Each structure stands twice: as C-alpha cells, then as structure tokens.
Chain A
Amino acid sequence: MKKIWLIIKREYLSRVKKKTFILSTFLTPLLFAGILFAVIMITVKSVSTDKFAVRDSSGFFKDKLQSSKVIAFDFNDSIDHQNFAARGYTGILYTPGTAINNSDSFKIFSKKNLGVVASDRIRDQITKAIENHLLDSLYQINLTTLDSVRQQARSAQISNIILEGDNKTKQGNSQIAYWIGYAAAFLIYITLFIYGTMVMRGVMEEKMNRIAEVMVSSVKPFQLMIGKIVGIGAVGITQFLMWIVLVFVFTTVINSFIPPEILQQVQEGGNQLPGNNTQANEAIVGLAKAGVQLSTVNIPLIVGCFLFYFLFGYLFYASLFAAVGSAVNEDPQDAQSLMLPVTMPIIFGIIIMMNAIINPTSPMAVWTSIIPFFSPIVMMARLPFGVPGTVAWWELVVSMLSLIGGFLFTTWLSARIYRTGILLYGKKATWKELMKWAFRSS
C-alpha cells in the first residue's frame, strides 16, 4: 500500500509540477472565454448601418418606416437611382407609382446584393406600415392602442415549463438543460481521451525505457498500473476542481455587478425594466437572466455527478488504455490499431449522446446511460434535464453501480494483460493474444 502511494505521488507530482499543467489549467478557460468573446465582438462590430434613401411621392410611408441599428431610412427627394451611391446610401427604395417606378411593386436599387437581414427588415417595415394603415383606415383602430395591445400580447408569450416533483413545482428550462448536458457530455468525452491516452503514453514510456523491469523487481505490476492510473486521475480531478473554483469566483464577481432590483425583476419574470434601456443595462439583464435560468438546474448535483462520472469513466477506460500501452512495442503506430477497440465505444457514446439529448427519456437514452461503456457521456447529457423527472433515481443508482462494477472488471482484465505485456519485447501483440493473456489460468 505504501508503495502504491509512492507511485501515485510520483505520477501526480511529476505532472502537476510541470509548467504545461499550470498553463493549460489557466489558459484553457481563458482560451474558451477568448474565443467566445472574439465571436461576440466580431458579430457586434460587423453590424453596420445601411442607409436607404426612400422616394415616396404619396407621402404615405413618411414616419412609418422605422429606422433601426441595421437599416436607416431617409426620405430625401434629391436622391435618385443614379446618385445614391455617391451620396453615401446603400440603396434607394421606390414606392409604387413614384418616378421611374410604374409597377405595383416596391423597387430597391443597390450596387450590391442586399443581405438577408437588410431585405427582411425592409419588407417587415413596409408590411407593418401597410398593415397599420389598413387597420387604421378600415377599422379606425388607434395605432397607439394597437401598439400597447401588441406589447401585451408579446409579454404573454413568455411561458415557463413547470416540472412537478412530489409536491414541489420548479421552473424547468429545456434550453439551458440542453446546453449544460451537451457541454458536460463533451467535456467527459474529451477528458476521457486526453487522460486515457496520457495513461497509455505513460505505460509505453515505462516499457520502452525498460524501467518497467527495474520497477517490477520492487513492486507488483498491478501496483505499478494502479499507481499510474490513480496518479493521473488525480491530476484530472485537480484540474477540474481548479476550473470549478475559477468559474465560481468568476460568476460571483459578475453577479456583484448586477443590481439587486434588476435581478429581482428578472426573477419575477417581468420584462419591463426600470430606467432607460441602454446597452449596458441590456447586458446586465442578459446576465441576470442567465443566472436565473441556471438556477433552474440543480448545479451541485450536476457538478457532483460530473466528478463521479469523470472519475469512474476515466478509471473504467484508463485501465484498458494501460493494457493497450503495455502491448505496444517500439513503434507508436502500433498503438493506433490496438487503441481502436477502446476508442470506438467512446466515439459511439458521443454519437448516442447527440441523439439522447434531443430525446432524453427514449429507451435508447435510458439504457445506454446504464451501460458502463457509454454511461459517463450519455448520463451526463440527461442529468441536467432534472433528476427525479427525466432521470429516475433508480436509473442514476443503477448507472453508477454498473460503472463501478465495470471499472472493477476492466481493471482486473487489464492487470492480467498488463503484467504480461509490460515485460514482453518483440513484435506487437494482437488483441487475440491480449485476450489469451487475460483469460488464461494462473
């Protein structure tokens, strides 16, 4: 036991002390945040206002086409289709019956093809203007009344899905559950690969440096394998815990910028906000909304389950990766073909997950979230949809137990392959031979 502890300590410290570990721990979230930020910035910055001149001899559309961030309308009779570009307009709109436009349709002249956003916006504005005009002239409906009616109708559209517990009701949000599930499942998928191959490379290194022989004269092969797996697993857990702390600190800082009255308003589901609707305000409201939406998900349960499924999913696969590493010889290319049977289930897992997340209660989703090969990925995708609701407690318990059982089995199997493979030099072993090592008596 003391020896396993020594091995774990070496495997752990030799990785955690590396500069690359510190860098990757802090840079990975920064990188993600940076990419997200860059995407948002590019989207925001690339929105330019297109100015359109409008020639409307009837005067019907004057003041009825509303300018926005994307499109600005300018009623200016001195502009025509020959000089609009020179005067700084993107295009010119002729209403029916004006100047060169004899047809019944609206005509837009422009130098280049109009974007989807711009042409949609123009059509919307025209439709709305005509609609308002018709409502007003045919039914004598006051336009200001109409606006408030529309506003009311829109606010009524906000509907919350209510999930029933025993007696409790709770706000559900499938959108946020979808994204959390997706992110968690993908994170498990990526980390299984990263840490699994890390174990494999470690075993290969020991075998190729021939240190295995020195080690095995001091410790049992099983101790060497388990020490390596646990040590590297601890590195993974450390990294996740650091990320969780980082995220917690980050969200706390962000939340402190949200004024309590806005948060309260958002929580009550109100859409009308006090104060003027400046951009900064909008951003804060967005953050507050995100916070409220997140609170519909049981975060401690998700984080706890995530750590469980990462740890045991890792343990389940890591020993298989270790077995593969022990069977590989000098040529790293050999690793590729031997790895395939181990990586296939992980890839299948992610494919099943993409289906399961759309329909988290389908029989396939339920059963694959219990089978240890797929459960770490598929179950993590289902969990954010709610535990007593979408995922029954028994499903979670059976899934966890079968994963633990699976981990014990793969470790037992791999240890038998490992102890033979680690000292065997020469040609690479086939899976058939590996199975023979695993299941022979003695």
Chain B
Amino acid sequence: MNILEVNHLKKYYATQKAVDDISFTVAPGSIFGLLGPNGAGKTTLIRMITGIFYPDSGEILFNGKKFHPQNDAVHIGYMPEERGLYKKMKIGEQAVYLAQLKGLSRMDAMRKVKEWFVKFNMESWWGKKVEDLSKGMGQKLQFVTTVLHEPKLIILDEPFSGLDPVNSNLIKDEIYQLAKRGSSIIFSTHRMEQVEEICDHIILVNKGQKILDGTVHNVKQQFKENLFSVKLDRQPESLQSPAFELIGRLEGELIVKINEGNKPNDVLQHFMQQQCNIMAFHEILPSLSDIFIKLVEGTPLSRQFEPITA
C-alpha cells in the first residue's frame, strides 16, 4: 500500500493554474524527488499534501485512507524552503514545543530532542537562542524538528541549502536511515546531482502539470540518445561508418551516437576491423540535469500570469 496517493489534484488561483491535474504515488520507504523550475507549482502541491491548503478538486489518500489534515499531521514532517523558527526562543525549548504541537507528550518530546541533539553534536546549543545560530546550524535544527516525531512521510524542501559538505552528508545519511526505517521522503529541489544520488523515484512538474514520472533509472533510459563512449588503444584510420556518427572527443575517448537500427556491436565491429583494441566501451546516459533543461526549456523562465476560465 502506498503511503501517499495523489489523484487529479487541482488548485487554481485567480491568475494561475498553480496545480493542474497532478497524480502520483509515493511508496513506503522510498525517496521521492519532486522536481520543477521555480513557480512550477511545487510549493502549492506540497502545501496541499501537508494540509495547509485545501485542493480545489482531486483527492489525497494518506496511508490508504482519505487525507485528514488534523489527524494525519502527526504522521507528516514538513521542512519548508524558507526556514522558520522563533528567533528569541531557546533552541531546546523550541524543539520540544514543535514536537509537542505534533502531538508528542512533553516527556517523549524531551527524550527525543535530547537523542537527536546528541546525534548531531548539538547538546551545547540547548540554552542558546535561534538568533545566535549560523544559517547552517539553523538548518540542522530545522531538520531535527522536522523528523523528531518519526513521521511516516517527511517532506523536505531544499534541505541542503546553506549546509557545508560535512553537514550535508550528515543530513543525507539521516535521510537514508529514515528511509530504511520505513519513512517515505518527498524531496523537493533544483539540485539535480543530489536527486540522482538520493532519489529512487522522481516526478517533474512544469506549469502546474506533471511532465515526467518514473524511477531515476527508467527516466534516464527514456531520454537516452544512444550515446556511447569508446576508448581505443590507438587512433583508428576511419571514423566513417553507417552505424554511428562521431559526436566529439573527450580526454582521448570518442563519443559516438549510434544510428537508428544499429547496435553497439556494429560500432565495436567497425573499430575491431581496423585492428584497434577496445580499452573501454560504455553507454552515456543523460544526466537528470540535461533532461530537466531539455523538458523545461522553451517555456518562459518564470510563469506568466494568465486569466483562468475554468
């Protein structure tokens, strides 16, 4: 059973179709990437999933049942893109307070906060105020307050912004750990290399509509351009073949595009006939970044306001 199932979700504002008929599912224990350019409708989508906004139409199923914001809030952890904490409040108290608002008893909240503070080396911060923290420290605190109540669904909007590589890895490891323990994670970002590294499944949203849905592997296969890299021990005499076209050279390797109807073996044969030894041969899959740009390119960088007539 999927932890989250979103069916035909719509949310229209006065001048924009913020979310226009989006459906997707999130499997338990998976890390789900929600991608899209600025203003694609990601935040609106997330706000509906977290119960902050009501959708105009469509339904959200949480854990197989109709999503009920008040009751299910305890099972959701949400870390918005714009960080928010009470500046004047002491850090320990603040973490306990936010956990209590999620429904934990004071005792449980205290215990969990202490555990996490130890894990993240934050014990000495307890009596400090948020305004004394650096941006990265605030980020860590925000992450702790998001996952403290062991939610089934964790929604992270750009969780690594402002973190150094060491702390990024710390958080990344925690994300893996949480997924391993059965939490599902929705991960919204623009940083494609992180998505490739972390996510199992992605969807790409543009102009309020879903334009891509699949596992990272499948998506790459879907968008591959039959590019291969060939490494030879010496320069071949001929690079002309009906089987492929030479696209370029990269550090002594040849980048070739195999023509329709041909197979990698045809390429290898061409070089072997010329008495070249093949040192390496592998497929070049497009990066998610390339796919992202390819799909989103051509649409205006920021969404235009348009009157809605639906």
The residues of A with any CB-CB pair to B shorter than 8 Å are 3, 6-7, 10, 14, 205-206, 209-220, 423, 442
Q: Using Cβ atoms and an 8 Å threshold, which residues of chain B touch A211?
A: 84-86
Chosen A-B contacts, 10 in total, with CB atoms closer than 8 Å, are A10-B89, A209-B85, A210-B84, A211-B85, A213-B80, A214-B80, A215-B101, A218-B101, A423-B47, A442-B54
- Is B184 located at the chain interface by the 8 A CB criterion? no
Q: Is the CB of B102 within 8 A of A218?
A: yes
Contact of B84 among A3, A10, A212, A220 (CB under 8 A): A212
Q: How far is the CB of B162 from chain A (nearest CB, A)?
A: 14
- Is B82 located at the chain interface by the 8 A CB criterion? yes
8 Å CB contacts to A: which residues of B78-134? 78-80, 82-89, 97-98, 100-102
Main secondary structure of the interface of A (DSSP, over half): helix
8 Å CB contacts to A: which residues of B187-237? none
Q: Using Cβ atoms and an 8 Å threshold, which residues of chain B touch A7?
A: 101
Q: A3-B101, A6-B97, A14-B89 are in contact. Are A217 and B84 (CB under 8 A)?
A: no
Q: Is the CB of B87 within 8 A of A213?
A: no
Q: A217-B50, A423-B52 are in contact. Are A6 and B101 (CB under 8 A)?
A: yes
A205 CA / B97 CA spacing, docked (Å): 17
Closest residue of chain B to A215 (Cβ to Cβ) is: B101
* Bitwise interface map of B from 63 to 91 toward A, beta carbon under 8 Å scored 1, else 0: 00000001001001011101111111100
A10 CA / B76 CA spacing, docked (Å): 23
A206 CA / B88 CA spacing, docked (Å): 11
- Is B51 located at the chain interface by the 8 A CB criterion? yes
A423 CA / B70 CA spacing, docked (Å): 18
Closest residue of chain A to B83 (Cβ to Cβ) is: A210
Q: Using Cβ atoms and an 8 Å threshold, which residues of chain B touch A6?
A: 97, 100-101
Contact of B78 among A205, A212, A214, A442 (CB under 8 A): A214
Q: Using Cβ atoms and an 8 Å threshold, which residues of chain A touch B83?
A: 210
- 4 interchain residue pairs of minimum CB distance: A211-B84, A210-B84, A210-B82, A217-B78
Q: Is the CB of B82 within 8 A of A10?
A: no
A51 CA / B102 CA spacing, docked (Å): 81
Q: Is the CB of A218 within 8 A of B86?
A: no
Q: Is the CB of B88 within 8 A of A214?
A: no
Q: How far is the CB of A226 from chain B (nearest CB, A)?
A: 14
A214 CA / B102 CA spacing, docked (Å): 11
Closest residue of chain B to A3 (Cβ to Cβ) is: B101
A206 CA / B86 CA spacing, docked (Å): 7
A19 CA / B50 CA spacing, docked (Å): 38
Q: Is the CB of B86 within 8 A of A217?
A: no
Q: Is the CB of B98 within 8 A of A209?
A: no
A153 CA / B15 CA spacing, docked (Å): 85
Q: How far is the CB of B196 from chain A (nearest CB, A)?
A: 28
Closest residue of chain A to B106 (Cβ to Cβ) is: A6
8 Å CB contacts to A: which residues of B135-168? 145
Closest residue of chain B to A209 (Cβ to Cβ) is: B84
Q: Using Cβ atoms and an 8 Å threshold, which residues of chain A touch B101?
A: 3, 6-7, 215, 218-219
Q: Is the CB of B85 within 8 A of A213?
A: no
Q: Using Cβ atoms and an 8 Å threshold, which residues of chain B touch A212?
A: 84
Contact of A209 among B51, B54, B86 (CB under 8 A): B86
Q: Using Cβ atoms and an 8 Å threshold, which residues of chain A touch B100?
A: 6
Q: A214-B78, A215-B101, A220-B70 are in contact. Are A209 and B87 (CB under 8 A)?
A: yes
* Bitwise interface map of B from 40 to 54 toward A, beta carbon under 8 Å scored 1, else 0: 000000010011101
A340 CA / B82 CA spacing, docked (Å): 30
Looking at A212, A213, A218, which has the most chain B CB atoms within 10 Å of its CB?
A: A218
Q: Using Cβ atoms and an 8 Å threshold, which residues of chain A touch B73?
A: 217-219
Q: How far is the CB of A221 from chain B (nearest CB, A)?
A: 9
Q: Is the CB of B52 within 8 A of A214?
A: no
A397 CA / B227 CA spacing, docked (Å): 85
Q: Is the CB of B102 within 8 A of A216?
A: no
Q: Is the CB of B88 within 8 A of A217?
A: no
A206 CA / B82 CA spacing, docked (Å): 12
Q: Using Cβ atoms and an 8 Å threshold, which residues of chain B touch A213?
A: 52, 78, 80, 82, 84
A442 CA / B78 CA spacing, docked (Å): 25
A205 CA / B82 CA spacing, docked (Å): 14
Q: Using Cβ atoms and an 8 Å threshold, which residues of chain A touch B79?
A: 214
Q: How far is the CB of A301 from chain B (nearest CB, A)?
A: 40
Q: Is the CB of A10 within 8 A of B51?
A: no
Contact of A217 among B52, B54, B89, B97 (CB under 8 A): B52
Q: Using Cβ atoms and an 8 Å threshold, which residues of chain B touch A214?
A: 78-80, 84-85, 98, 145
Contact of B52 among A14, A205, A216 (CB under 8 A): A216
A7 CA / B79 CA spacing, docked (Å): 20
A139 CA / B70 CA spacing, docked (Å): 98
Q: Using Cβ atoms and an 8 Å threshold, which residues of chain A touch B50?
A: 217
A442 CA / B54 CA spacing, docked (Å): 10
Q: Using Cβ atoms and an 8 Å threshold, which residues of chain B touch A217?
A: 50-52, 73, 76, 78
Given contacts A7-B101, A14-B89, A213-B52, 17 further A-B contacts (CB under 8 A): A6-B101, A10-B97, A205-B87, A206-B84, A209-B84, A209-B86, A210-B82, A210-B83, A211-B86, A213-B84, A214-B79, A216-B52, A217-B52, A217-B73, A218-B102, A219-B101, A442-B54
Q: Using Cβ atoms and an 8 Å threshold, which residues of chain A touch B84?
A: 206, 209-215
8 Å CB contacts to A: which residues of B238-287? none
Q: Using Cβ atoms and an 8 Å threshold, which residues of chain B touch A206?
A: 84
Q: Using Cβ atoms and an 8 Å threshold, which residues of chain A touch B102?
A: 218
A7 CA / B101 CA spacing, docked (Å): 8
A442 CA / B55 CA spacing, docked (Å): 11
A218 CA / B86 CA spacing, docked (Å): 15
Q: Using Cβ atoms and an 8 Å threshold, which residues of chain B touch A205?
A: 86-87
Q: Is the CB of A218 within 8 A of B98?
A: yes
Q: A217-B52, A219-B101 are in contact. Are A14 and B88 (CB under 8 A)?
A: yes
Closest residue of chain B to A213 (Cβ to Cβ) is: B80
A10 CA / B97 CA spacing, docked (Å): 8
Q: How far is the CB of B86 from chain A (nearest CB, A)?
A: 6
Q: Is the CB of B89 within 8 A of A210?
A: no
Q: How far is the CB of B109 from chain A (nearest CB, A)?
A: 10
Q: How far is the CB of A135 from chain B (nearest CB, A)?
A: 77
A90 CA / B84 CA spacing, docked (Å): 73
Closest residue of chain A to B49 (Cβ to Cβ) is: A217
A158 CA / B51 CA spacing, docked (Å): 72
Q: Using Cβ atoms and an 8 Å threshold, which residues of chain A touch B88?
A: 14
